[in-house]
Amino acid sequence: MKKLLSLALASAMVLSLAACGGDTKNKDAGNGSTPAGSNPAASTPAAPAGDKVIKIGVFEPASGDSASGGKKEMLGMQFANAETPTVEVGGETYTVQLVPADNGSSTDKAPSAAAQLVAENVAIVLGSYGSGVSMAASDTFKDAGIAALGVTCTNPNVTAGNDHYFRICFLDNFQAQVLANFAMDKFQAKTAYCLGETGNEYDQGLIAFFKQIFEANGGKVITASFPTNNSDFNTYLNQAKAEGADVIFTPVSIAYATQIITQAQSLGITAPFLGSDTLDDNMVLEAANGTDIQLYVSTFYQEGGAPEFDQGIKDYINSNSSAKDANGGNDTIAAVTAMGYDAYYVALEAIKAAGSADPAAIKAALSGVTYNGVSGAIAFDSIGDAVRDTAYIKHSTNSNAWELETVQKAG
């Protein structure tokens, strides 16, 4: 019984402690001294403009497995923000401020990262790279009445049943279909070996769709999955070889993809590798550099698609060492960077269309926004998904560059 009392008191104490913590935070904000959390990046030059500020939340992983992708996506937004740091709303000029929150690539940290953005009073949220964290944070944004604009979260469940979540990328089933058709058309593939991370909804979802389509067209699919943090892929690749796979489909995250490519090279795998949008990354490209691996990926954007943007972002990356670090140390443009760039402008369009900085108005306006971005025309359907019927398939030249293979349409 004493314990019961103690417990109650303990909780009460903690509660008051928490409340105290909250107060100090408020005071900070009230004083007008910049709370640390609200400065997006020292790299972004402070824009000279009106006193009015509109905040855009950047909900991206800066740590964890998806950090590499999240940082590149954010790079596009930062570049866009540097390029267009203000927006006209109802005749007034607002300075746009990016507010980042690290969701740690993990669904259990996502809700509190999302709450951080909400606490900063952001008008709209961009992100995330990775569907799981987007889904986990979805309800926090929903409760706050803030619209979220997914950049490269391709899982169907992100937007389904949510009127506040939108996205500008294509979906997994479309991507899988494109790749399955490509495998059959280009390589006359009969047997496909699919390798994904155990328990990762992105990998396994794409593999499941790929399998459905590939088998429906008379192909044979062998699936395998590796545990998280695995680095030994020799047995998987040898199995693919032993089964006589015509293509190897690896929709895995960047760290695994680089390992698979280097190990495949030393095992002398000749079957072509098909990858999803995650593999469109310069670290993967570097792994394939100088090898005989045939690597094909489906993606949102192909370098050279918008020369002005290419030039701009390259200058931006080269002029800024932290941006270059975020991009993996060189200036190859990742598709997610282009997507981040487009997402920023779509958000600005929505703010302009709403004619106010009110999150609810922006949310209402977002569904009607159309925008011609560097990655193509963007418009939303009734679910909130971008109407996209194009995916680019490109292959690695194995000398640190991508080359456009084909542009695939749906159907």
Partner 1 sequence: MEFAISVLISGISVGGQYALIAIGYTMVYGILRLINFAHGDVFMVAGLLGIYLSASLPLYAALPLVLLLTVALGFCIERAAYKPLRSAPRMSVMISAIGVSYLIQNTATYITGGQPMTYPVIPFLSDTVVIAGTPTKWVTILTPFLVLALVLALQQLINHTKVGMAMRAVAKDFETAQLMGIRINSIISVTFIIGSALAAIGSMLYFTNFQAITPTAGALPGLRAFVAAVVGGIGSIPGAVVGAFIIGICENVIKSTEFTVFSDAGTFALLILILVLRPTGLFGEKVTDKV
Partner 2 sequence: MIQQRSKKGAVTAVIACAVLLAAVILLENISLLLPAGSVPNVLKPTSQLFAVLKKGAVYSLAAVSMNLLNGFTGLFSLGQAGFMLLGAYTYAILSVPVADRAAVYYLYGGSAVNFSFQDMFGTIFGTEGVGGAVSLGLGVAVAMVLAGCVAAVFAYFIGLPVLRLKSDYLAIATLGFAEIIKAVFQWQALGPVTNGANMIKNFPTFSSFNITGADGTVILRLSTFFPFLVSMICIAAICLLINSTYGRAFKAIREDETAAEAMGINLAKHKMLSFCTSAFFAGVSGAMFAMFVTNAQAKVYTTTMTYEILLIVVIGGIGSISGSVMATFLYVACSEWWLRFLDNVTVINGVQLPFLRAGFRMVVFSVVIMIVVLFFRRGIMGDKELPDLFKKRARKEGTGK
Binding positions for partner 1, rule: CB under 8 A: 62-65, 67-68, 71, 198, 222, 224-236, 238-239, 241-242, 254-255, 258-259, 262-263, 266-268, 283, 286-287, 325-326, 328
CA distance 348 to 362: 10
Classify strands 376-379 and 370-373 as parallel, antiparallel or unpaired.
antiparallel
At its nearest, how many Å lie between partner 1 and the CB of residue 106?
Answer: 12
Residues 5, 48, 216, 382: which binds partner 2 (CB under 8 A)?
5
At its nearest, how many Å lie between partner 1 and the CB of residue 398?
Answer: 16
Residue 69 or 85 with smaller CB distance to partner 1: 69
Does the protein bind partner 2 through residue 400 (CB under 8 A)? no
Does the protein bind partner 2 through residue 1 (CB under 8 A)? yes
Does the protein bind partner 2 through residue 355 (CB under 8 A)? no
Residues 45, 84, 90, 160: which binds partner 2 (CB under 8 A)?
160
* Interaction mask 231-260, partner 2, x per CB under 8 A: ------------------------------
Residue 145 or 199 with smaller CB distance to partner 1: 199
Residue 76 or 100 with smaller CB distance to partner 2: 100
* Interaction mask 192-211, partner 2, x per CB under 8 A: ------xxxx-xxx--xx--
| Binding partner selected for residue 22 from partner 2, partner 1, none, CB under the kind-specific 5 to 8 Å limit | partner 2
| Binding partner selected for residue 383 from partner 2, partner 1, none, CB under the kind-specific 5 to 8 Å limit | none
Classify strands 295-299 and 390-396 as parallel, antiparallel or unpaired.
antiparallel
| Binding partner selected for residue 268 from partner 2, partner 1, none, CB under the kind-specific 5 to 8 Å limit | partner 1
Q: Which two tokens stand for residue 312?
A: 């701009």
Instruction: List the beta bridge partners of residue 317.
Output: none
At its nearest, how many Å lie between partner 2 and the CB of residue 62?
Answer: 4
| Binding partner selected for residue 231 from partner 2, partner 1, none, CB under the kind-specific 5 to 8 Å limit | partner 1
| Binding partner selected for residue 401 from partner 2, partner 1, none, CB under the kind-specific 5 to 8 Å limit | none
Short-list 137, 132, 130, CA closest to 164: 137
Residue 281 or 349 with smaller CB distance to partner 1: 281
| Binding partner selected for residue 238 from partner 2, partner 1, none, CB under the kind-specific 5 to 8 Å limit | partner 1
| Binding partner selected for residue 267 from partner 2, partner 1, none, CB under the kind-specific 5 to 8 Å limit | partner 1
What radius of gyration do the chain's Cα atoms show? 22
Cβ–Cβ < 8 Å for 273, 295:
yes
| Binding partner selected for residue 135 from partner 1, partner 2, none, CB under the kind-specific 5 to 8 Å limit | partner 2
Instruction: List the beta bridge partners of residue 153.
Output: none
Q: Which residues contact 255 (CB under 8 A, 6 or more apart)?
A: 65, 68
CA distance 275 to 290: 19
CA distance 138 to 146: 10
Does the protein bind partner 2 through residue 62 (CB under 8 A)? yes
Does the protein bind partner 2 through residue 321 (CB under 8 A)? no
Residue 62 or 362 with smaller CB distance to partner 1: 62
Stretch that binds partner 2, among 20-28, 122-130, 240-248, 338-346 (CB under 8 A): 20-28
Residue 3 or 409 with smaller CB distance to partner 2: 3
CA distance 171 to 148: 17
Does the protein bind partner 2 through residue 21 (CB under 8 A)? yes
Q: Which two tokens stand for residue 346?
A: 């779509």
Does the protein bind partner 2 through residue 215 (CB under 8 A)? no
Short-list 231, 252, 248, CA closest to 239: 248
At its nearest, how many Å lie between partner 1 and the CB of residue 95?
Answer: 28
| Binding partner selected for residue 106 from partner 2, partner 1, none, CB under the kind-specific 5 to 8 Å limit | partner 2
Residues 116, 154, 175, 302: which binds partner 2 (CB under 8 A)?
116
